[in-house]
Structure 1
């Protein structure tokens, strides 16, 4: 019997039998319904319903109540419900992998068609597309806000504050009851235990979560921390909406302290991540970023140690060079060099004084000689008649000459006395300076000789250990021939030769009786 499909009217009219079938039809004797139509089998009824439903594509909103996603299957299975009904759903993995997935309690909006499986007698809703209900509007608002802040330059990398390499005080703004705070504290305690951690416990979900997080940032600023971690664990797009709040994002930008975010998991990105100074994918990643690793600390301290050692060695080398330069100065080789200038000045002064004294008496000596010559000539002519007058005049002349030379003699005596007093004082001062410098030079020389004395002692000890006398003191003997050569083998002597055998406390004069070469 042939079948024809009835026009779709929204009701299940089924496949109507063709009443003009042949008389030989095997179903002609089958029971008939009251209206004269043949009843359908279960398979026919299920196929009828399947054909009618699979042509209907609808969009449904509901809450996920059950989830069964196993990679061993070819599809993901879940159930959505409302207040009075539940609908089992399935979604092939090639479609499901393009979504963010579903969780129990999530409100979803899905588009698909109903499908029946006749063998099991089950109906599923074959899902084509799936998204979180209401998420489209939220994502549009977030995207608009992101573009607005980007146009204002709030996401410009040039305005972001660098994070210090070794923060001593770390602020953490997160929920005190979530897993994020424990992950951060555990990581900081393991990698950088010397840092002080200030935790501002605030809600990170809910209507007023953004306001509380802004106050947490202010608390960290008042605590004068070096860096702030704004973190929370993973969640749905709606749960992360407080981190897309405009007031919170502007507070992050206005904060002078560098802020590192670790919000959700790797795929989650909020506007707070975009405007923060550094964005990490997880709270643990944020803690790892602000805490230096052990390798980094060892490398840094090694660099500082090498630089310090180089600087100290350079200072020691310069000091040693200055000591060697001072050691080579003439002063330390000949102490008289210190007073050479003063002695030369003293000699020159003495020479000038002698010349001045000699020059001061020359004019008067000439006058005396001239007067004496004139007097002698005059006396020769007038000696006899004027003897008495001559004697008187000679006495007057003598007194006059004595009076003329007296001032110069007094000046000479005064100058001699001053010179006699000045010379000992100058020599005494110079001698004191010489004694002081000699004492300093002996002290410096003694310190310079200590290394050489130590080295000499070591060399003497080595020479003592290598001395033949030390070997003799242990019971050995040394033989020498008549010329003083050490006898090392029997070929150097012959019977009858005299040799000298030295032992530890003296020597023995011996004669060689026979030679016995070693076997």
Structure 2
């Protein structure tokens, strides 16, 4: 009895023998019969390559994490004419989607058997950009919700930024426009920035792991702040910054992370987790420059306040010295005038006498003159000593002379003098003025001197 074959042929006495061409033709007919028209397939792009003649080839796989073997995949061919149509579809969607490894897509095509290579191929003819954007947004929302539940969204934002963040860690693709923009901004500021750069892949399926590795590397270098930057691109180009891996690495950083990722309209999960997010790489670098300039402006203002206070104190001392000198001069003049009047009276009385009276008057006159002169000289001497003492006090209170002798003047950051230990606490910022400049310090501990032991009375 004849047995019906799989392909409808009648064979007697065993299975048919086919040539490779006949087998390929039958597979092609079966494929065309089972899938006569276009179909939509969703999956993850892998092994994307582009040929010189404009064709593109890739595998469309079941989505898996980076480095894992997919459970199923199919070869996709995008010929040059259809590729042009697909690019037009992507442009009409605003250029937010770019086909690249690791991107999940929904594509249109026909399933065909390619006999020369013996492979089953999906001949791509269209793409649904909204599907990719929707998956990106759904993943973004899911990751942000998980991070918020773990209390990590504000973790990096709560870290204090150093007053003078001159040691900057830079995580970016070395040689990129973003890398050049940041270095140009920092170097052009004229400030003494020290930059520790860690190269990272900022696009593709390996971007997230590369960025995390670079973040940990610069953090170990003891930097004050980290700049995580990348230039603009399609939404899919920035997918590495929308991953849970990068987000949790930023939350775990021991120093503030400033981001400058993409264009002004882009906002990634990395931006949400960072201490502060900026529109561009240049803007992120400019924010660090502004922090250092603001500190220098505050230092200049404190020095100006101290200089004005010293000048005011010197002016008050000079005015007091002038007033006291004037009073001493007037007192000496009055004393001399009184003695002169007494001398004139004695001379008149002496002139009215004669003989012995005149002699006695001469003696009295000489005595009175000597006494008046002595008292006047003593009065003037006391006045000179008082004037010298006042001048010495003024000089002793001159801040500049005290500084020149090796003394220093210490005030708080707002200009208040420091006189007692009990006025200070840990964390207080002090400004110490020397003859050749100022130094700013912060108190870490305050140790009061132990009280002296009680003195015992002698028995």
TM normalised by structure 1 equals 0.42
The higher relative CO (CA closer than 8 Å, separation ≥ 6) is in 2
Greater gyration radius: 1
